A = this chain, B = another copy of it.
Amino acid sequence: MHIRISRDELYSGVGPIQAVVETKRSLPILSHLLLEASSNRLSVFGTDLDVGVRKRLDGEVLKEGSIALSARKLYEIIRELPAATVELNVDADLTATITCGKSEFRMKGLPRDDFPSMRESKEGGILLERRLFRDMIRRTVFAVSSDQTRYTLNGILFRVTQKDAKMVATDGHRLAITTHDGDLLKDRKPVEAIIPRKAATEALKLLKEEPGEVEIEAGENHLLLSSDNTLIDARLIEGQFPNYEQVIPTMATKQVTIDRDALLAGLRRTSTIIGERTIPTTMEFKPGQLLLSCVNLDLGEARERLDVEYQQEEMTVGFNARYILDFLSVVEAGQVTMHLQDALSPALFRAKDDKRYTCVIMPMRI
């Protein structure tokens, strides 16, 4: 194998992929990146067996071939190289020589046979606007459960039908659901997949925010995401996602409209008094006013007064403020609405006049 490639192009591939690779794995090959050169492309591939990522980079291939090199070391070397042409030459002994300007490195590699294989796209998948796909992840991933005993909740449900695409995540205390209306299937099979948290967060990092599309192909246990020169291969969570629709309240009789920034700042302030323990934040609704308060017996108390649009009877509900902050931090709207029934029923949070994104949050007893 022998290639010439610009340092910046190489860095754009090795940088993001080495971040996926786990260096502390017991299997040494998994701390490596597989480099493969063929037909003027260098492909860089890394995997932790749950998430695999491959990028195809432009370069001049003088001799085809492949080698697996330490991800961490390769990354550290390329990061320090000047913006010039890098030459990578692998001898029959699997020793790679990297030269760039007046610098030269020699590293021992491993053969490609030892490397796990990457799935390839078979029949092509559905197409979704990349920024929309990213937004759907951002709006749900925080609600993914960390409870290992509730395995099917450790990911985001991604469901595409004839009429819409949905992502849903819940940890039993709150649920986030976002919907995109429109037929994405166009003769493809419907998708129903639970994407693990790591795959979802890696996709957020790897898929650029720029306009463009992502192609999504769901296999039996795997999801392939491809976009530009990047292919992500995510092992899916097997099992049945719970029936979430029954959790979404339909009886909410009270509605409040609140300035998003004011609620965010107010909750951040009252939350400063919360220590390590989970203490409820009390929301006291009065006509035209919302009083936030938080009492920590060890530290003290915090109060905040907000002007809100509310004209119904007074009511008091307690929440885990962090759940509301998570919702507010991914909403861009200037105003948000809360739909409430009583102090024990789940509350529904939305951006004002937008039913495509909903957070359901269970109250806390106060």
Q: Which residues of A contact B (CB under 8 A)?
A: 70, 73, 76-77, 79-82, 95, 102-108, 265-266, 268-270, 272-273, 299-306
Contacts and interface: CB of A to CB of B under 8 A. Distances in A.
Given A102-B306, A103-B304, A305-B102, A73 B299 contact: yes
Contacts of A105: 272-273, 300-303
Copies of this chain present in the complex amount to 2
A307 to B, nearest CB: 9
A95 B301 CA distance: 11
A272 B302 contact: no
A82 B299 contact: no
Contact of A106 (B95, B103, B300, B306): B300
B106 A272 contact: no
Contacts of A108: 299-300
Given A73-B299, A95-B300, 4 more contacts: A77-B273, A102-B305, A106-B301, A106-B302
Contacts of A103: 266, 269-270, 302-304
A77 B272 CA distance: 6
A36 B345 CA distance: 47
Contact of A80 (B80, B265, B299): B265
A44 B210 CA distance: 48
Contact of A272 (B73, B95, B265, B299): B73
A275 B95 CA distance: 18
A305 B99 CA distance: 12
Nearest to A298: B108
Nearest to A74: B272
A346 to B, nearest CB: 28
A107 B73 contact: no
Contact of A73 (B81, B82, B102, B273): B273
Contacts of A82: 265
A70 B299 contact: yes
